[in-house]
Amino acid sequence: MSSPFYDNFVARQIESGINHRIYSLYKRLLRYGLTKDMKILEIGCGIGVLTWLLSKKITQGYIEAVDFSQKSVDYATTNNRQPNVMFTCSDILQYEPQQTPFGYILAFDVLEHIPTEQHACPVRKNKQMDAPRV
């Protein structure tokens, strides 16, 4: 898959918005102990729908959100201007996190787009997690 593929997916993501599936993922994170001061790395943030939900809870922490599509990151940045949220366009296999350690590394709908032998790569780069929760 290439960046143009994901760039062309933006309109569909905008139309879908906060769907039941995304909201249920957010609610599950709340049950797992998401706190207002947590640091999160979100891999494959898309247009930032889950990021936006997370930013409502994580008011004193930090969210680092990464996506392969510049068009997605541009939309996310424009529509989620929180001082504690940073969006970056990058290939996650090459990405170097800015803020560590993270309480959670989130990768919803991402691993199926990465070759199996490279699944651990994004996690390995964050060697100082608060706790090993992925």
Cα separation, 87 vs 127, in Å, equals: 21
Is 131 part of any domain?
Answer: no
Is 86 part of any domain?
Answer: yes
Is 134 part of any domain?
Answer: no
pLDDT of residue 100: 76
Is 103 part of any domain?
Answer: yes
The count of domains in the chain is: 1
Is 133 part of any domain?
Answer: no
Instruction: Find the domain containing 29 and state its range.
Output: 3-124
Here the CATH number for the domain that contains residue 120 is 3.40.50.150
pLDDT digits (tens, 9 = 90+) for 1-44: 456 766 666 667 767 777 888 899 999 999 999 999 999 999 99
pLDDT of residue 89: 95
Beta bridge partner(s), residue 89: 67
Is 132 part of any domain?
Answer: no
User: 47 or 129, which is more confident?
Assistant: 47
Is 25 part of any domain?
Answer: yes
Is 106 part of any domain?
Answer: yes
Task: Judge if pTM exceeds 0.85.
Answer: no
pLDDT digits (tens, 9 = 90+) for 45-104: 999 999 999 999 999 999 999 998 999 999 999 999 999 999 999 987 788 888 778 889
Cα atoms in the Cβ-side hemisphere of radius 13 Å centred on 79: 16
